[in-house]
Amino acid sequence: MTHVDTKIQQYIEPGRRVHLCGIGGVSMSPLAEVLHKMGLTVQGSDMSDSAAVRHLRELGIPVTAGHSAEAVAGAEFVIRTAAVRDSNPEIAAAREQGIPVFERAEAWGAIMQQYENAVCIAGTHGKTTTTSMTTHIFMAARTDPTVMLGGTLPMLHSGYRVGRGDTIILESCEYRNSFLYFFPTVAVILNVEEDHLDFFKDLDDIKASFRRFAELVPEGGHIVASADDPGAMDALKGLPLFTFGCSEGADCQAKNLTWEHGRPSFDIVIQGEVYAHLSLRVAGRHNLLNALAAASAAYVLGIPSKAVKLGLEGFFGAGRRFEQKGSYNGAQIFDDYAHHPAELHALLEMTRSLGYKRVICAFQPHTYTRTKALFHDFIRELRTADLAVLTDIYAARETNTVGISSMDLAREIPGCLYCPTLEEAAETLMKTARPGDLILTVGAGDIYLVGEDMVRRARESAPVQP
């Protein structure tokens, strides 16, 4: 399989001047730093003045606020984040001036060619956690990896690191076929399900994309895939695989499995031999599978088992992945990024095993097209919470052309409370919270602000200790 045609490689050279449009983004800011350290002259623009933007300025990278045609002046090429469209004034100006415009994924693809090992972790869900786990293992093995995550990892105090070793570890997204620009030597595929149906035609189209991604692995590389996931197995059938899962016949399996407060302890058995024994600090079957995926990636690259044990037992979760925020009126508040029905299922199934009196799920649907396409799946999962609270849909990159709202979901969920704004959701949860409750703020948008607001108010109202 050949890669998506791109000519960006000839531009990724010391001394070249590049403009990054949307430079403060979660994968754009690390890209800016990597290019800067490679000797390119980097500049950029972003709509907001964030911590990432301030960090880049401290490194000597100029960042302008807002987007304007003048911002691309002097650039030899432009890299844009996926959220930036052709109508953006900087992109339009670059086109008019004949300045080449490339996608963020193209740049990462060019960069990873400079590494001996490129571990690319893909799947409909679980990517950030598995990439984080893999990072923990490779850091424990002292391989000094370069890392690019779609979230924040407490160990790194950010979502990325620039190492000097021969390994790069990247979260690899299928949206708009971005990962087809990559050059994986180890392709990890966690699951293949329906999502991003504003771009893909259907599940078969998604499966075809993941197969193309797997086929990018060169001879001598490795395709690591979940034996437990029917979508992955169907998409990859006939390819040489290293499989993981709880299924009999998987190359990497969990054996002698026990659970305590939702957290698993087990032997990692690879091709009949015990590789490591683990007691995870994170709960849920989904995290068991994520750990097996990370361990498999480590195994095929010859990482010693002691680093797998040390790395995974030292993993307490990634930012916004069942992240504890605090408490309010005796209720514990956790936040999670889940925005797909399968992620909701894994989250709610796990939390039901933790012994709370009630599980209250405050959910913010993410994008109109996803809510419409997976409508009945969302209803099925949200009904399993003791109480569901819904805010309005987080639009992200979309406008509501499909005629759907959170109220449509709420009508189908018994006892559901519809709170259009985050402020109303916070007020409702504060009135509802009682000791023994687990309150989850869930979604890929800004729903996390609700939990943070509740924790802040609880602290402000607490009596001052003498």
Task: Just list the catalytic residues.
Answer: 127-128, 171
Q: Using CA atoms, how far apart are residues 407 and 129, in angstroms rounded to an integer?
A: 31
Q: Using CA atoms, how far apart are residues 417 and 459, in angstroms rounded to an integer?
A: 26
> Per residue, what are the HEC states of 161-214?
ECCCCCEEEEECCCHHHHHHHCCCCEEEECCCCCCCCCCCCCHHHHHHHHHHHH
356 touches 383 (CB < 8 A): no
Residues 328, 334, 335, 340: is their CA dihedral positive or negative?
negative
303 touches 138 (CB < 8 A): yes
Q: Give the chain's radius of gyration (CA, Å).
A: 22
Burial class (CB in 10 A: 0-12, 13-18, 19+), 330: exposed
Backbone φ and ψ for 385, nearest 5 degrees, come out as -75, 155
93 touches 113 (CB < 8 A): no
Nearest of 431, 332, 409, 323 to residue 364 by alpha carbon: 409
Q: Tokens 């499909």 label which residue? A: 402
